[in-house]
Amino acid sequence: MKKGSILIVDDNKNVLTALRILLENYFGKVALLTSPNQLHSHVREIAPDIVLLDMNFSAGINTGNEGLYWLSEIKKIDADLPVVLFTAYADIDLAVKALKQGASDFVVKPWDNAKLIATLQSALSLRESRKEVKQLRERQNVINLELNKEREICWGVSESMQELHRLIQKVAQTDANILITGENGTGKEVIAREIQRLSTRNKEVLITVDMGAVTESLFESELFGHVKGSFTDAKADRIGKFEAANRGTLFLDEIGNLSYPLQAKLLNVLQSRQIIRVGDNKPIPVDIRLISATNRHLQESVRKGEFREDLLYRINTIQVEIPPLRERLEDIPLLADFFLKKYARKYNKENIQLSAEALEKLKEYRWPGNIRELQHTLEKAVILSDAAVLQVNDFYLNKSTSSDTGFDHLTLDEAEKILILNSLKRNKDNLSAVATQLGITRPTLYSKMKKYDIS
């Protein structure tokens, strides 16, 4: 299928004719220009997806400087417009110089049709990817503006959370890699987004990757991208999460679930600050701020040989520990009020309130699911209640965890396994319902069931 538009700039009319005949079979629109002097108006009027630009226009001059000049002029109009340079004089130093100045590629005359088409189609894919990233950034900016209209984080009054707040404000302004640790449901992603909001990269995107949901076979493609034809389903070039997060923040959630072999690949990228797409050999520099999160004790995983010590040092320049809700019960009144108001607005029940007895019940509960469980509990109560005041009976809590969780002498993994088994029983093995109740994705649930040998 023909798609995209290309502007060809060359003073040789025979070359233009030959290229038009060839490329009309692959591009939706092919525009020709014999002189670069009209480049400014053509680029603005035609808005091509690619420019194929000759490097020499004056007779007897083959330095390529003219091409480099017009390349810079095009980039002033549209910095993201891919420009493929075209010359009859192959010069490695010139090619390197052109690529450094923003050219997408370099083609030597006489050209090989297949190679030229492949080069131009790759440039078109790059253009489409850049458009997607730009749109994603614009959407993220809109979302950020919306989120900032109301205070999305309730820090609470406990000393531990106030200390955490001070730490976040201090480290957010740096580009230091941050590791956020804490139990499931404590709000690790919320903290990551707050760090992004307070950082110098807050005009760029935050890209989130659930490492527990990325399969080993697709790890490199998902994170580093791939080129067309690199594997069976690679029908087009695709950028990975690292490229999508370029100049912004990359959040690697559940990094403790990453297998040992894949940890080495991630470490290599973090050290070199460049990625290579699957099926390609050209390194692409990336500028990202890395935030990772896990509910595991990675130092223990290092001792067991399950997590690379050098990767741990790389990702936790600063470690941020979020305390579980049961250790800061004094925050529950403020948190309950915060979520109550949020969902009252959402479900048009602005005047709904919380009775003193109901609040006491919430304060007595141990909250094994932490903030996420409290949030879902308040939302469910607001949805189901028709009364103006929420009473004790409006809240459905696991009675066994009201005063003694039964988890006090268990490891985190043992407690998590019990929670999953209990949820499977309550939901009659409906995995979608279990994932929703636990506040995780289905792929993450599959990963945890495999980890704990739950069939």
On whether the 150-321 domain is CATH 3.40.50.300, my answer is yes
In 3D space, the residue among 123, 96, 164, 108 whose CA is nearest the CA of residue 328 turns out to be 164
At the topology level, CATH places domain 327-451 in: Helicase, Ruva Protein; domain 3 (1.10.8)
Query: Is the Cβ–Cβ distance between 336 and 373 less than 8 Å?
Result: no
Q: Which CATH superfamily is 5-127 part of?
A: Response regulator (3.40.50.2300)
Return the structure tokens found at 18: 């030959």
In 3D space, the residue among 114, 126, 115 whose CA is nearest the CA of residue 236 turns out to be 126
The beta strand positions in 10-100, using DSSP E, are 29-33, 50-54, 83-87
For the chain, the domains span 5-127, 150-321, 327-451
Backbone angles phi, psi at 23, to 5 degrees: -85, -15
Q: Per-residue pLDDT tens, the chain, 455 aa: give them.
A: 688 899 999 988 999 999 999 999 999 999 999 988 989 998 888 889 999 998 888 766 667 788 899 999 999 988 889 999 887 766 777 777 888 888 888 888 889 999 999 999 888 888 888 877 776 766 666 555 544 444 468 899 999 999 999 999 999 999 999 999 999 999 999 999 999 999 999 988 899 999 988 888 889 999 999 988 888 777 788 889 999 899 999 999 999 999 999 999 999 999 999 999 999 888 999 999 999 999 999 999 999 999 999 999 999 999 999 999 999 999 999 999 999 999 999 999 888 999 999 999 999 999 999 999 999 999 999 999 889 999 999 998 876 544 444 555 566 777 788 888 888 888 878 888 888 888 788 888 888 888 888 87
Query: Is the Cβ–Cβ distance between 408 and 371 less than 8 Å?
Result: no
For residue 231, give Cα distances in angstroms to 186, 279, 283, 392, 454: 39, 8, 19, 57, 32
- Could you give the CA distance from residue 370 to residue 374 in angstroms, rounded to a whole number? 6
Give the amino acid at 368.
P
Q: Tell me the per-residue pLDDT of 181-192, one tens digit each, with 9 for 90 and over.
A: 999 999 999 999
Q: Tell me the per-residue pLDDT of 108-134, one tens digit each, with 9 for 90 and over.
A: 888 999 999 999 988 888 888 887 777
Task: Examine domains 150-321 and 327-451 and report if their fold is the same.
Answer: no
- Using the structure block, give the residue that is written with the tokens 């006489």: 110
The beta strand positions in 78-175, using DSSP E, are 83-87, 105-108
Q: Tell me the per-residue pLDDT of 332-352, one tens digit each, with 9 for 90 and over.
A: 999 999 999 999 999 998 889
- Using the structure block, give the residue that is written with the tokens 């390197």: 96
Backbone angles phi, psi at 133, to 5 degrees: -65, -40
- Could you give the CA distance from residue 137 to residue 241 in angstroms, rounded to a whole number? 13
Q: Residues with Cβ < 8 Å from 91, sequence gap 6 or more?
A: 64
